[in-house]
């Protein structure tokens, strides 16, 4: 074991990961508290529909685009779906990831084969490139984009690319590549609570509010 990068990998797998996980979990909780302490006033208008039920339903139904919406922003929608699906397949079904999560929370599930993981990774990377392209090219998206959007883009693509490279021993030393992969994932975890990555948690809260506000009125959401 005289690979010069071994110590780095060990650090990334050990203390590095622990630090990142602590910041991520603690940060998410803090951000959620920050939201919920603001509270919301009780709605005194007599309800016409069931807000709670529709709120819960909207958490799921909003995952499907409204009729006709897809064709208005095809790149954003299609690449958006492909990225999320690709990223989660690669993240949740790679054997090594499952082992890691298993260590943390004690549950396991079957891994997917290598080819599927690689296809998913490639799809996610291509989708991210398409999303960046539309962010540059489309005036609405360009105007909306801030440093946060580009930072999150970089932080999202790095674990995908470095993971692929490490598994396939591309770009030189595989120990170094694996260490970089872990560090990039940790950077993503650390940034999570402080960037728009938070949407991965708060989307459910927002959709619930949206659905419950509309639902009380007997309106669709």
Partner 1 sequence: MSASLEKGLNALREQIDAPVASFFTSCVSCGICAEACLFYQETGDPKYTPIHKLEPMRRIWSNEFTLLGRAKSMLGMGRKVTEQDLADWEELVYDSCTMCGRCTLVCPVGNDITMMIRKMREGMSASGNAPEELVAGAKRHWEKGSPMGDLLPALTAHVKNVEKSTGIQVNVDKKGVDYLVILSAQEVAVYNEVIEALARILDKAGVSWTFSSEAFEGTNVGIQIGSKDLAREFVSRTVNAAEKLKVKGVISPECGHAYQALRWEGPNLIGRTYPFEVVHVIELLDRLRADGRLKTKGMDHAKLTFHDPCQINRRGGINHEPRRLLNMVADNFTETEDAGTMNWCCGGGGGVGSNESATELRLQAFQRKKRQFEAVAPEKIVTMCAYCHHILEESLEHYDMDIEVQGLTELMAEYLEDA
Binding site for partner 1 (CB under 8 A): 30-31, 34-41, 43-46, 48-49, 58-59, 62-63, 65-69, 72-73, 76-77, 80, 138-146, 149, 194, 196, 198-199, 202-203, 205-211, 213-214, 217-221
Euclidean distance between CA atoms 178 and 172, whole angstroms: 11
Euclidean distance between CA atoms 161 and 139, whole angstroms: 28
Q: Which is nearer to partner 1, 18 or 148 (CB)?
A: 148
Q: Which is nearer to partner 1, 15 or 74 (CB)?
A: 74
Taking the complex as a whole, how short is the minimal distance between the CB of residue 52 and partner 1, in angstroms? 15
Q: What is the CB neighbour count within 10 angstroms for residue 205? A: 15
Euclidean distance between CA atoms 118 and 122, whole angstroms: 6
Q: Which is nearer to partner 1, 118 or 206 (CB)?
A: 206
Question: Reduced to 3 states, what is the DSSP secondary structure of residue 47?
Answer: coil
- CB-based burial of residue 215 (10 Å sphere; 0-12 exposed, 13-18 middle, 19+ buried)? buried
Q: Which is nearer to partner 1, 181 or 193 (CB)?
A: 193
Taking the complex as a whole, how short is the minimal distance between the CB of residue 9 and partner 1, in angstroms? 30
Taking the complex as a whole, how short is the minimal distance between the CB of residue 198 and partner 1, in angstroms? 5
Taking the complex as a whole, how short is the minimal distance between the CB of residue 104 and partner 1, in angstroms? 25
Taking the complex as a whole, how short is the minimal distance between the CB of residue 192 and partner 1, in angstroms? 12
Euclidean distance between CA atoms 32 and 193, whole angstroms: 9
Q: Which is nearer to partner 1, 73 or 122 (CB)?
A: 73
Contacts 24+ apart (CB under 8 A), 144-152: 148/195, 148/196, 149/196, 151/191, 151/195, 152/191, 152/195, 152/196, 152/197
């Amino acid at each position: 074991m005289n690979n010069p990068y071994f110590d780095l990998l060990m650090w990334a797998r050990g203390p590095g990961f622990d630090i990142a996980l602590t910041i991520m979990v603690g940060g998410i909780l803090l951000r959620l508290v920050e939201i919920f302490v603001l509270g919301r006033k009780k709605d005194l208008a007599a309800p016409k529909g069931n807000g709670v039920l529709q709120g819960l339903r909207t958490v799921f139904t909003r995952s499907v685009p409204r009729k006709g919406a897809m064709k208005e922003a095809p790149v954003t929608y299609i690449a958006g779906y492909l990225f999320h699906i690709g990223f989660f397949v690669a993240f949740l079904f790679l054997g090594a990831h499952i082992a890691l999560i298993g260590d943390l929370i004690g549950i396991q599930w079957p891994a997917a084969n290598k080819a599927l993981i690689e296809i998913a990774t490639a799809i996610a990377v291509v989708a991210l490139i398409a999303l960046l392209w539309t962010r540059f090219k489309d005036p609405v998206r360009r105007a909306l984009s801030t440093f946060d959007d580009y930072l999150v883009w970089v932080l999202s693509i790095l674990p995908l690319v470095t993971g692929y490279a490490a598994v396939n021993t591309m770009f030189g030393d595989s120990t170094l590549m694996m260490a970089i992969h872990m560090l990039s994932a940790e950077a993503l975890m650390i940034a999570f609570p402080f960037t728009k990555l938070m949407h991965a948690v708060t989307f459910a809260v927002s959709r619930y509010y949206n659905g419950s506000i509309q639902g009380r009125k007997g309106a669709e959401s």
